[in-house]
Amino acid sequence: MKPKSVAVVGAAESTNLGVIPGLSQIQLHADAALNALRDAGLSPSDIDGIATAGETPTTVAHYLGITPTWVDGTAVGGCSFMIHVRHAAAAINDGLCRTVLITHGESGKSRVGASPRPAYPASLAGQFEAPFGVMGPPTMFTIPVLRYMKTYRITEEQIAMVSVVQREWAAKNPRATFKEPITVTDVLNSRMIAYPFRILMCCLVTDGGGALILTSADRAQDLPQKPVYILGTGESVESPMISQMENFTSSRAFRVSGKKAFAEAGITHKDVDHLMIYDAFAHLPLYGLEDLGFCEPGQAAAFIVGRNTAPGGKLPLNTNGGGLSYMHSGMYGMYALQESVRQMRGVAAAQVKGAKISIAHGVGGMFAASGTIVFSNERG
Amino acid sequence: MAEGGRPLPVPTPETKHFWEGAQAGELRLQRCDDCRHTYFPPRPFCPKCASRRVSIIKSAGKAKLHSYVIHHRPVPGFTPPYAIAVVELTEGPRMMTNIVGCPQTPEALVLDMPLEVTFEKQTDQITLPLFRPTAGK
Ligand SMILES: [Zn+2]
């Protein structure tokens, strides 16, 4: 895409995050969408493009009273929203629509009106993974990490530090679910879920929603919010089965998506002021830092232990507290994007002073998909 | 470890040979007749060169423990803690499985330990390939 030709002009999360038994999944989409429309000074009749995952774009468009000329139902897991941003930017540039609404809502905790997650026993994963006792992401996303630890001599203590540092960020965020400080000992002594993962190395399970509104950079000048420009984008997919991931120490989808986003943006790593890496589990930021090229293979744990990503560090990472401490409804990518937008607007709870470039990097499924967005708050 | 009640596969036309092989006590892979690539899971063409000229081969059933987790939460058909493992066959492909015949502990489950296939009948239609430490080790 053409850098800075499209901007985020509306961004909001659902009114509440956490446990929301009073709202169904579709209403979480709508609550976030209405908040984003108000933020942008727009109404549903201004929207002519709709993208969503978890619900169909048809459902969301009809529920909100939108008549779109462009729809995108890409649903590849938690990074779907990064990919929607990428597709929306291309669509706006190509004149397929003018103003796109991207919504997420998930009753991940309360399961009110939530989509079922059926396992099809005739699918490849149903035949070749389900019979061996897998039960959701904690038993699959986690499988590669022992190989990663052996390859690079990484300790459980180092991985626990990912959770500890992110809790430091969460402490600065009034909307974070968990704000109490934790230590490496706390993490390692917390309940074992799937060795070597303790519960404090696993993301939260909450309810919530989020929405973004994008339009052309030219039109963004007439809208109330400080525009946040799309500088570069990337996407890819790898395998629907964790056992068939090419390399257990590195995600091909991360590498492909990240490389594309950096190339489109025309930036180098030292240009990046703020970074979000989707952290469904504590090893995700390690893979992300390495596969995006911020660290050499095997060096990300030392980078985090060295406080480079902590408050005061040179590369602030997951400044909302992340999926480990802020919130995680199931498809967390939307919240990573929201925090990048807040940082670029200069209104984040833990604001990185003077930040000009932010990256939000997402994962979908169990290393199955990826999307990367580079944002900038400067047009010139 | 398994107590029945675990989810069982429903074979498709493209995977039928694999599950029939398991019933017959064979671990069946596929190999491309053109580029010689050996692959899994099953499909009637080579994922490397797209050739439809592929053959079913019998794996030697030897593998190394590539990675795993030890799950501590209850799952139908399993008594926690139990390991969910990915093994790497000597022919190259990796597959998910369970490790039997050894304690389900980090001390007993050492990465790269040699394993061999063993078959566990679930129903009259389905037998699962599991792995155990190679005899004599
Ligand atoms: Zn071939």
A279: DSSP letter: -
Span B27-77, pLDDT tens digits? 999 999 999 999 999 999 999 999 999 999 999 999 999 999 999 999 999
Q: How many CB atoms lie within 10 A of CB B66?
A: 23
Backbone dihedral region of A136: left (phi > 0), alpha (psi from -120 to 50 degrees) or beta?
A: left
Which listed residue (A148, A229, A287, A326) is catalytic? A326
- Joined tokens for residue A260: 């594309």
Residue A312 has pLDDT above 80, yes or no: yes
What pLDDT sits at residue B2?
45
Inter-chain touch B128–A131, beta carbons under 8 Å: yes
Q: How many CB atoms lie within 10 A of CB A134?
A: 25
ipTM of the modeled complex: 0.94
- Joined tokens for residue A194: 């799937």
- Owner of token pair 């470890």: B1
B90 located within any domain = yes
Give the dihedral of Cα atoms A112, A115, A121, A123; nearest 10 deg. -160
CATH number of residue B80's parent domain: 2.40.50.840
B2 located within any domain = no
- Our CA-based measurement puts residue B64 at a distance from the nearest CA of chain A, in whole angstroms, of 12
Q: Give the pLDDT band of residue B1 (cuts 50, 70, 90).
A: very low
Tally of domains in chain B? 1
Q: For chain A, which residues lie within 8 Å of any Cβ of chain B, measuring from their own Cβ?
A: 119, 121-122, 124, 126-135, 138-140, 142-147, 150, 191-197, 241-244, 248
Across the strands, what pairs with A197? Answer: A194
Residues of A in Cβ contact (< 8 Å) with B98: 132-133
* Pairing state between β A100-107 and A197-198: unpaired
Inter-chain touch B9–A128, beta carbons under 8 Å: yes
Going from the Cα of B45 to the center of ligand 1, the distance in angstroms, rounded, reads 8
Whether the Cβ atoms of residue A16 and residue A32 lie closer than 8 Å to each other: no
Backbone dihedral region of A24: left (phi > 0), alpha (psi from -120 to 50 degrees) or beta?
A: beta
Going from the Cα of A124 to the center of ligand 1, the distance in angstroms, rounded, reads 20
Inter-chain touch B72–A194, beta carbons under 8 Å: yes
Q: CA gyration radius for chain B?
A: 16
B4 located within any domain = no
Q: What CA–CA distances, in Å, run from A199 to A194, A325, B67? A: 9, 12, 20
Span A30-57, pLDDT tens digits? 999 999 999 999 999 999 999 999 999 9
| Residue A213 three-state SS | strand
Report angle CA B29, A128, B65 to the nearest 5 degrees. 75
What pLDDT sits at residue B90?
98
Which whole number is the average pLDDT over A152-178? 98
Span A185-211, pLDDT tens digits? 999 999 999 999 999 999 999 999 999
Whether the Cβ atoms of residue A258 and residue A292 lie closer than 8 Å to each other: yes
What pLDDT sits at residue B72?
97
Q: What CA–CA distances, in Å, run from A278 to A230, A364, B16, B126, B130? A: 19, 9, 38, 38, 33
Going from the Cα of A238 to the center of ligand 1, the distance in angstroms, rounded, reads 19
What pLDDT sits at residue A118?
65
Mean of per-residue pLDDT scores for chain A: 97
B9 located within any domain = no
B34 located within any domain = yes
For chain A, the first-to-last Cα distance in angstroms comes to 17
φ and ψ at A82, to 5 degrees?
A: -65, -45
In the residue annotation, A326 being an active-site residue is answered as yes
Residue B3 has pLDDT above 80, yes or no: no
| Residue B136 three-state SS | coil
Question: Whole-angstrom Cα distance, residue A221 to residue A219?
Answer: 5
Burial of A319 (0-12, 13-18, 19+ CB in 10 A): buried
Residues of A in Cβ contact (< 8 Å) with B11: 122, 127
- Joined tokens for residue A203: 């993301």
Which whole number is the average pLDDT over A17-39? 96
Which whole number is the average pLDDT over A180-187? 98
| Residue A6 three-state SS | strand
Span A318-375, pLDDT tens digits? 999 999 999 999 999 999 999 999 999 999 999 999 999 999 999 999 999 999 999 9
**Amino acid at residue number A340:** S
Burial A153-187 (b: 16+ CB within 10 A, else e): ebebebbbbbbbbbbbbbbbbebbbbbeebebebb
In the residue annotation, A152 being an active-site residue is answered as no
Residue B136 has pLDDT above 90, yes or no: no
Question: Whole-angstrom Cα distance, residue A283 to residue A198?
Answer: 12
DSSP string, A149-166: HHHHT--HHHHHHHHHHH
Q: Give the pLDDT band of residue A380 (cuts 50, 70, 90).
A: confident
Among chain B residues, CA nearest to A244 = B94
User: Rounded to the nearest 10 degrees, what angle do helices A145-152 and A156-170 cross at?
Assistant: 110
Q: Where are the domains of chain A?
A: 6-113+204-376
Span A228-265, pLDDT tens digits? 999 999 999 999 999 999 999 999 999 999 999 999 99
Question: Whole-angstrom Cα distance, residue A21 to residue A32?
Answer: 16
Nearest CA to A104 out of A38, A175, A173, A35 is that of: A35
Pick one of 3.40.50.300, 3.40.50.280, 3.40.47.10, 3.40.50.150 as the CATH number of A6-113+204-376.
Answer: 3.40.47.10
Enclosing domain of residue B79: 16-133
What pLDDT sits at residue A168?
98
Inter-chain touch A143–B81, beta carbons under 8 Å: no
What is the model's pTM? Answer: 0.96
B87 located within any domain = yes
A243: DSSP letter: G
φ and ψ at A189, to 5 degrees?
A: -90, -5
B98 located within any domain = yes
Q: Which of A195, A201, A242, A287 to mutate to test the interface with B (most CBs of B within 10 A)?
A: A195
Backbone dihedral region of A57: left (phi > 0), alpha (psi from -120 to 50 degrees) or beta?
A: alpha
Nearest CA to A198 out of A176, A183, A177 is that of: A183
Going from the Cα of B62 to the center of ligand 1, the distance in angstroms, rounded, reads 23
B123 located within any domain = yes
